[in-house]
Chain A
Amino acid sequence: MAVIYSAFPALILSIALGAALIIALFGERVRYLNEGVTIAAAILKFLLVTLLYTSVVGGAVWLWTPVTLLPGVPFSLKIDLFGIYFALLSSFLWLVTSVYSIGYMRSLNEHAQTRYYVCFAICVAATVGIAFSGNLLTFFIFYEILTLATYPLVVHSQTEEALAAGRKYLTYLLSGGVVFLFAILLTYTITGSLDFVNGGILSGSGTTEFLRILFFIFLIGVGVKTAIMPLHGWLPSAMVAPTPVSALLHAVAVVKAGTFGLLRVIFYIFGIDLFMEIGVAPILAFIASFTIITASLMALSQDNLKKRLAYSTISQLSYIVLGAALLAPTALEGGIAHLMHQAFMKITLFFCAGAILIGTGKTLLSEMHGMAEEMPLTWAAFTIGGLGLIGIPLTAGFITKWYLIGGSLDAGQPIFVIILLTSALLNAAYFLPPIYHAYFFSQEKKETLERRVSWCIKAPIIVCAIIVILLGTIPYAPYFPLESAHEIVRQILGI
């Protein structure tokens, strides 16, 4: 394992930050500056991350520790396989979402676009920072920056509803952040270090009781962003945000940062051996299963499309948590792969929701009967995404379910198979009816807002939908998530 000491990770971060600064200073005055800088930065970042990815896959680890923050804890950017995996996901989806944002903002002629693009850029910088963090403190810094930077995006429309949702958002996330910080400081005090190390740093420091309590404090801290129940309350309310924001929040930035953080804590702070020793895995699995089922049930009752997708997200995120809690390599692979799979599927669905909003102005599912006639492309993509989440073969979601089910059987806990299958059924229950209604019902003739849906919006939808299928049909292709997940799990288990 070659360690490369270089400031290159910082360079990637500064691209996004530099973009934010340029947009902030000049965005109001120069036409097309917002969009141009955003796209340019997104492309540049994606290329650089891909370059790094090939290097890290080859066995290198990049490290940059410029300053010490606390004794023994530097500000550390470290790129290992798990980190670059997450960064690859974020940078690609940023590119796609940027294109989509341009179309969305222009079509709806939104206000405060400069602020939107600035916060957007900061968010992506924060997410990449989270991916590249080498220790818990650096992670926390970017974590909180992410919270702050997403707030203006959530309250973007500045209506009463948006501001109330924003307050709720901030309350949940900041409180979670404070609890997280508490756990971090506890860890620091007992071990003197906060580095993410394969195998964890906590082994041998403290009684099992104490470590269990510490784990649960961590769980509450990152659990808010991971939207495990009952800490999920902010997510449905945050749907008042513009669709690209919801897409970003639900596919990449906030929720995945939480999940990523949870996995980092479990495998790189506690370490898999300690995690098995202290016996919290069954409780974690229970919480995950509870969330999976309950969130799906709540999705059934939602008429607002984005809210239904929100609850679906909450449910899907706990697949990843379940993958970690099952303590079987196959399940873990499935969970880590699902980080990417769910991202693509969900973002496709949200992009479709946005397209529907632009094209017809509708947000409620009950009003979307027969819409497939008008918007065939959108609803085809929606179908692909929905089938993926259900877990139909040939889609990415099927791969995930296959691995998770395999893992539960490996771990000798068939009850989770039942839970996963139930979840699939529930997913079908809330995805299939809208699709059915869209295709096979005739349009109730009403006054509809017809707007041309620009290619900026259609292209990302098509791309993401195709990727969902690709992930499902050729999952073992090089650089696809499954291979990386496999390698990551191998490193975690130390084999």
Chain B
Amino acid sequence: MNGMFVHLPLLIIMIPFAAAFIGPLNGFLFRSWIRRIVLIALSLNLICSILLALQVLSSGPFDYYLSGVAPPLGIALYADYLGACISVLISGIALVAVFYSAGIIPELGERRTFVFYVLLLLAIGAMQGIVFTADIFTLFVLFEIQAISLYGLVAMRGDGKGLLAGYKYLLIGSAGSAMILIGIGFLYISTGTLNMHLMAELLPPVSGSYTVLAGLALLIAGISTKIGLFPLHIWMPEAYAYGPSIFPVISTIALKVGVVAIIRVVYTIFGSSLAIQTIPLESILALLGAVAVIICSILAIRQVDIRKMFAYSSGANIGCIMLGLGIATIPGVEGAILHMITHTTAKAGLFLCADIILIQTGIRYVHEFKGLSKAMPYTMAAFSIAAISMVGLPLTGGFMSKITIASAAIADGITYYAAILLFWTLLSAVYFYRILNNAYFLEGTLSSTIREAPLRILIPIFIISITTILLGFFVEIPMALIRPAAGLLLGGGF
């Protein structure tokens, strides 16, 4: 049995790619089959991810050499706790999103839906690759695959604003990619290898040199454009608002995958050098995170378009995760990874509910929500649960991850970061309160023809709502993977 499991990392990456190539072939014959192909691919992916997670839990992380060639000559995949955990997250959320969406997406039309799904598969495959790769150039290539797919996805609707948002995303993302490439180059010069683990071994003697530091800075800056860390989040509001409605769900996952890449860079590659180098990397990350949290939240309060509001909220949450990573203690990293999971779940729920509302009613703005709870009670219920998790109130996953990071901050002596996180709860409450208050307690001028969405569409958001609450209660289940992950990352990187 053990023999088969060894190939799981590669399988997980290849299934979506294979489906992405099969899709167009099939598509000439049966265009409507594309959604089923995607569903099958993602279900297989989810099963493989869960199997891999169980495998890693029982017998520890393992390497996988492509074509059996070991580094430094070959490319290695590394299945560790973090990779397995995020892999489950990717396939799970993507599956729920595709399960939710339709055979023909309303705003796209038949032909574009087809392209949408193919690009989605490419993006998912690339994401799975990023979390498992142990080779830094492969990381770059996969980032580009993901990025190009996402640029295409943003502009899928074909209308002017979507195109402009896509173009803006492309410019900023490509600049980031360029920075990543130079960064990789600098690290390559200094160590002579592209494998992350070998780099980690070779880096400490040279870790003080300008080349390495410049490389590190460029890498982090470059990846920051992909994850929406302030001030490189500026593509997010328009991309979320003017792209197809499902795009933000995929993008949310992509942001977390980018964070995994940063973790790989900071902890895996630089792990052993962190102790001896003079630049306080963690403090800088924590500071960036805290600034992102506050400023993005303030920007969110001023928004009237809910998708832009949620985009800024995502920016704040990414800041929170960075803060957790910057508190380079085990609880801090645990909290950051847990927050990746809880935030993705809650945000996916929010965006799916927003999509339902958009399709049923065409509502895009906060003030249009008035009285919505009477017309669409179940959707608003799911929305409220997701919103409560985003604010960070108890009984939801968001609460647990926030208090983990906050108590890690206090334990590390930087209590003011904990105060910032808790203050952030109040800030988020302000803009979510507005939506919920409008929906539940104000009377609006909604057309009487608005009906609740059918059951098949409500099931995915119920799944997400229940998961959010379960995460708040049974937090030990993800922690079974997260705790060893944090220990591994902080204890030497691999």
Which residues of A are at the interface with B, using a C-beta cutoff of 8 A? 67-71, 75, 140-142, 144-145, 148, 152, 155, 158, 163, 166, 170, 174-175, 178-179, 181-182, 185-186, 188-189
Across the interface, name the chain A residue whose C-beta is closest to B384. Answer: A148
Query: How far in angstroms is the closest Cβ of chain B from A122?
Result: 11
Q: Mark B474-494, 1 if CB is under 8 A from A, else 0.
A: 111000000000000000000
Within 8 A of A (CB), among B354-409: 388, 393-395, 399-400, 403-404, 406-407
Q: Which residues of A contact B393 (CB under 8 A)?
A: 144, 148
Cα A174 to Cα B331 in complex, Å, equals: 26
Sampled A-B contacts (11; CB under 8 Å): A70-B400, A70-B403, A70-B407, A145-B394, A163-B442, A178-B425, A179-B422, A181-B425, A182-B419, A185-B406, A189-B411
**Contact across chains for B406 and A145 when beta carbons are under 8 A apart:** no
Q: Given A144-B394, A158-B441, is A70 in contact with B404 using a C-beta cutoff of 8 Å?
A: yes
**B21 interface residue (CB < 8 Å to A):** no
Q: Which B420-460 residues have a C-beta within 8 angstroms of A? A: 422-423, 425-426, 429, 433, 437, 440-443
Residues from chain B with Cβ under 8 Å of A70 in the complex: 400, 403-404, 407
Residues of A within 8 A of B411 (CB): 189
- Which single member of B388, B395, B422, B433 contacts A181 (CB below 8 Å)? B422
In the bound complex, what is the Cα–Cα distance between A461 and B362 (angstroms)?
Answer: 50
Check A185–B410 contact: CB distance below 8 A.
yes
**Complex contact B425–A155 (CB within 8 A):** no
Contacts of A155 in B (CB 8 A): 441
Chain B residues, CB < 8 A from A182:
406, 418-419, 422
Nearest-Cβ distance from residue B108 to partner chain A, whole angstroms: 35
Distance A411 CA – B489 CA, assembled complex (angstroms): 57
11 additional A-B pairs beyond A67-B475, A186-B415, beta carbons within 8 Å, are A70-B400, A70-B407, A140-B394, A142-B394, A145-B395, A148-B388, A163-B437, A178-B425, A181-B422, A181-B425, A186-B410
Q: Which of A71, A141, A189 contacts B394 (CB under 8 A)?
A: A141
With A and B bound together, what is the CA distance between A70 and B482 in angstroms?
13
Known: A141-B395, A174-B426, A185-B410. A67 touches B418 (CB 8 A): no
Alpha-carbon gap, A22 to B38, bound state (A): 38
**B5 CB-CB contact with A under 8 Å:** no
Report how far A170 CA is from B433 CA in the complex, Å: 9
What is the CB-to-nearest-CB distance from B407 to chain A, in angstroms, rounded to a whole number?
5
Q: Roughly how many angstroms separate A181 CA and B425 CA in the complex, as a whole number?
A: 11
**Chain B residues near A144 (CB, 8 Å)?**
393-394
Is the pair A181, B423 in contact by a Cβ cutoff of 8 Å? no
| A185 nearest in chain B by CB position | B407
- Give Cα A69 to B437, complex, Å: 30
Closest residue to A156 on the B side, CB-wise? B441
Cβ A152 vs Cβ B422 within 8 A: no
Contact A158 B422 (CB under 8 A): no
Q: What chain B residues lie within 8 Å of A67 (beta carbons)?
A: 473-476
B383 to A: closest C-beta gap in Å: 14
A185 and B442 in contact, given A70-B407, A174-B429 (Cβ under 8 angstroms): no
Majority SS at the chain A contact face: helix
Query: Inside 8 A of A179's CB, which chain B residues have their CB?
Result: 422
| B contact face: mostly helix, strand, loop, or mixed | helix
**B254 → chain A closest CB, angstroms:** 30
Q: Which of chain A's residues have a CB closer than 8 A to the CB of B422?
A: 178-179, 181-182
Chain A residues within an 8 Å CB radius of B406: 181-182, 185
Given A67-B476, A68-B476, A148-B388, A178 contacting B404 (CB threshold 8 A): no
A70, B331: Cα distance in complex, Å: 10
Instruction: Write out the residue numbers on chain A whose beta carbons fall within 8 Å of the beta carbon of B476.
Output: 67-68
Max chain B Cβ within 10 angstroms of own Cβ: one of A67, A140, A148, A181: A181
Q: Find out whether the CB atom of A181 lies under 8 angstroms from the CB atom of B475.
A: no
> A170 CA to B437 CA in the complex, in Å?
11
Q: A178-B426, A189-B411 are in contact. Are A152 and B475 (CB under 8 A)?
A: no
**Which B residues are in CB contact (< 8 Å) with A71?**
331
Inter-subunit contact B441/A152 (CB<8 Å): yes
Which of A67, A69, A145, A186 counts the most B-chain CB atoms under 10 A from its CB? A69
A140 to B423, CA, bound (A): 17
Distance (whole angstroms) from the CB of B328 to the closest CB of chain A: 17
- Complex-state Cα separation, A412 to B352, whole angstroms: 65
- Which residues of chain A come closer than 8 Å to B407, judged between CB atoms? 70, 185, 188-189
Q: Give the complex CA separation of A175 and B242 in angstroms.
A: 35
Tell whether, in the assembled complex, residue A69 and residue B475 are in contact, meaning their CB atoms are under 8 Å apart.
yes
With A68-B476, A145-B395: A185-B426 Cβ-Cβ less than 8 Å: no
Docked complex Cα distance between A144 and B475 (Å): 19
A70-B404, A75-B473, A170-B433 given; A185·B418 CB < 8 A:
yes
- Give the shortest distance, in Å, between A40 (CB) and chain B (any CB): 24
Question: Chain A contacts of B399 at CB under 8 A?
Answer: 141
A441 to B51, CA, bound (A): 82
Q: Do A189 and B400 contact each other (CB < 8 Å), given the known contacts A67-B473, A145-B394, A178-B422?
A: no
With the chains together, A179 CA to B411 CA distance in Å?
Answer: 17
Q: How far is the CA of A69 from the CA of B479 in the complex (A)?
A: 10
Residue among A142, A174, A181, A185 facing the most chain B CB atoms (10 A cut-off): A185
Shortest C-beta distance, B377 to chain A (Å), equals 9
Given A75-B473, A181-B403: A158 in contact with B442 (beta carbons within 8 A): yes
Query: CB-nearest residue of chain A relative to B413?
Result: A189
Contact at B403–A185, with CB atoms within 8 Å? yes
Our pick among A163, A174, A189 for the contact of B410 (Cβ within 8 Å) is A189
B403 surroundings in chain A (CB, below 8 A): 70, 181, 185
Q: 9 tightest A-B contacts by CB?
A: A141-B394, A189-B410, A185-B407, A189-B411, A178-B422, A144-B394, A144-B393, A155-B441, A185-B406
Chain A residues whose CB sits within 8 angstroms of the CB of B418 once the complex forms: 182, 185
CA distance A188 to B395 in the complex (A): 18
Residue on B with the closest CB to A141?
Answer: B394
Complex: A13 Cα to B422 Cα, angstroms: 28
Question: Nearest chain-A residue to B477 (Cβ)?
Answer: A67
Enumerate chain A residues within 8 angstroms of B394, measured Cβ to Cβ: 140-142, 144-145
Instruction: Give chain B nearest CB distance to A310 CB in angstroms.
Output: 22
CB proximity of B181 to chain A, nearest CB, Å: 41
Q: How many Å lie between the Cα of A176 and that of B426 in the bound state?
A: 10
Q: What distance in Å separates the Cβ of A196 from its nearest Cβ neighbour in chain B?
A: 17
State how many angstroms separate the Cβ of A468 from the closest Cβ of chain B.
Answer: 35
Contacts of B425 in A (CB 8 A): 174, 178, 181
